[in-house]
Chains A and B, each alone.
Chain A
């Protein structure tokens, strides 16, 4: 049973470019959350997707957007990249089932992340 898989593993972009990161949740999971982890910091919540809709959002600008597909996989898009967007981007999945898009006692599983470097 594959866990949470993310691609690409590493990528380098230049300021002003756009990037798309991809996440496949663990089998049986229906919600995906994205986190940004800057060097030497703890992860910060970007947003959560459930039933193909953004359900919760952290304190990130509109340059950060996402999508969830019918197969529960997800993409994180960042436009107009800034140097400060350099970070490890973590995807996490969970089975929410009938908990209404929030909460639930299931365990959250993380992927190994995509390391983005903006030059």
Chain B
């Protein structure tokens, strides 16, 4: 079974600075998807960024980028130029790819609470 571990329960960053959130995972599959979701106090999970395991290039979405290390099974999220609106819980998640049989099941980590200080 796949597992996702987020070792930082809480992180803080100054506005306009850069912060990196860590995530490691365990799987025996060769093809899969990894995600970072943001959950603000409104409770709605919002997709931040997604990475497909067969792609070696790290995904980037505006101020958000990932460092995907497949061999190390590591998937960190970097937030540049942090804004007050980035404050939220961040969850790392794993999903099996269609080439491995496909799944709609997301396996989530326990989350990291990010505080942005003005």
Chain B facing A: main interface SS: loop
Q: Are B105 and A94 in contact (CB under 8 A)?
A: no
Count of inter-chain pairs, beta carbons less than 8 A: 66
Which chain B residue shows the least CB distance to A50? Answer: B104
**Shortest beta-carbon distance from B47 to chain A in Å:** 6
Given contacts A31-B104, A58-B105, A94-B104, contact A103 B47 (CB under 8 A): no
Counting contact residues on chain B (CB < 8 A from A), the size range is 20 to 34
Q: Using C-beta atoms within 8 Å of the partner chain, give the interface range for chain A.
A: 20 to 34
Residues from chain A with a CB closer than 8 A to the CB of B110 are 40-42
Q: CB within 8 Å of A: which residues of B? A: 4, 42-47, 91, 93, 96-98, 101-111
Question: Which chain A residues have a beta carbon within 8 Å of chain B's beta carbons?
Answer: 31, 33, 35, 40-45, 48, 50, 55-56, 58, 88, 90, 92, 94, 96, 99-100, 102-104, 107-108, 110-113
